[in-house]
Amino acid sequence: MILKKQLLLLALLEKWGGELSNTDMQKYLFLLTMHQDKNKRSYHFIPYKYGCFSFNAYSDKRNLIEKGLLKDSDDWKLSENQGGFYFMLASEDRCVLEKIKKNFGHIHGNELIRYIYLNYSYYAVKSEILAQVLSKPEVSRVKKYIPQNNIKALYTIGYEEISIEEYINCLINEDVKILFDVRKNPISRKYGFSKKTLQNALETVGIGYRHLPRLGIPGDMRMDLHDIEDYNRLFDIYEKEILSTCHDLLEMIYRSLLENERVGLTCFERLPRYCHRTRAAREIARLFQKDLSIIEL
């Protein structure tokens, strides 16, 4: 079975003759998704070493290689006798793909990178090749899009219902320096959020990562949670039986906050009231700084 978003990758590649470099593929896909309805975008992107980059697109590439639809290659190449993907797209996606091919199909490489850097400058702020493709005044323009934040705050964030790219962009935009993972077991069926993958992704954009399993809640304590009252009872027990034994870790997080000004706590649940990270953040404030700013992303 081919997912709808994977079909878009195959159709895009087909439209460009069945083969594209990694950089060009990411850039054309970026332009395509920027022209989709904002609430229906197939992929999201982060500012990366060479500009806009989608971890999920790269993950889907590996999946399509396993299915035999793409060649096992460093670049993007359709397998032999593969085609017809364009006509399998929804009409709205065909229209967007045609538009991208017409407007940008004649440019590639540094020219394509340059266009995106100048027109979507946020996605260039982590680039290692700015000076190679832009003039000094243009580089200065791009650097104005580097997120800046003077607030000292403890952030909390959950990854439920958002992609790894949306998640990382939230942290970049708040200029969070270090993320503390307070899951007991940092394993996720959702791509990008298992410990090693998450750590690598964060470190590529300059955000530190540290896993603190002692601040997590064992799985057997999470059984039979049906409503907010059940969660509150669980978190009351969490405060008494777990947080009370983790003064050293809470102090370490607070000291990291004093040094870095913006650090975060993360777990799965999107809504803070359903996650223990909120109780951990409040305990840090209670113990060390009553007026500590806690911001829920």
The better pLDDT of the pair 225, 256 is held by 256
Tokens describing residue 240: 């008494």
Percent of the chain with pLDDT over 70: 100
CATH code for the part of the protein at 153-296: 3.90.190
Band of pLDDT at residue 1, cut at 50, 70 and 90: confident
Tell me the three state secondary structure of residue 167.
helix
Mean pLDDT, rounded, for 209-214: 98
* pLDDT given for residue 222 in this prediction: 84
Cα 168–204–32 angle (5° rounding)?
60
Band of pLDDT at residue 129, cut at 50, 70 and 90: very high
In the chain, where are the structural domains located? 4-143, 153-296
The per-residue pLDDT for range 149-196, each reduced to its tens digit, is 999 999 999 999 999 999 999 999 999 999 999 999 999 999 999 999
Sign, CA torsion 174/127/12/194:
negative
